[in-house]
Amino acid sequence: MDTLNVVIADDHPIVLVGVRELIERDTRFKVVGDAVCSNELVALLVSKPVDLVITDFNMPGDSPYGDGLKLVEYLTRHFPKVGIVVLTMISNPLILTRLQELGVLAVIQKHQLHDEIQAVLKAIARGKPIHHNGPQPTSVMDHGADLDQRFTRLSPKEHEILRLFVSGQSVNEIARGLNRSAKTISTQKVSAMRKLEVSSDQDLLTYCIERNVFN
Hey, what domains does the chain have and what are their CATH numbers? 4-126 (3.40.50.2300), 144-210 (1.10.10.10)
53-61 average pLDDT score: 85
Q: What is the pLDDT of residues 30-43, one digit of tens each?
A: 999 999 999 999 99
pLDDT of residue 56: 92
Rounded to 10°, the helix 201-210/182-196 angle is 60
Q: What is the pLDDT of residues 84-134, one digit of tens each?
A: 999 988 776 667 777 888 899 999 988 888 888 988 998 998 887 665 554
| Model confidence, pTM | 0.66
**H or E element, residue 109:** strand 106-109
Confidence of residue 51 (pLDDT cuts 50, 70, 90): very high
CB atoms within 10 A of CB 94: 21
DSSP 106-141: EEEEGGGHHHHHHHHHHHHHHT------SSPP--TT
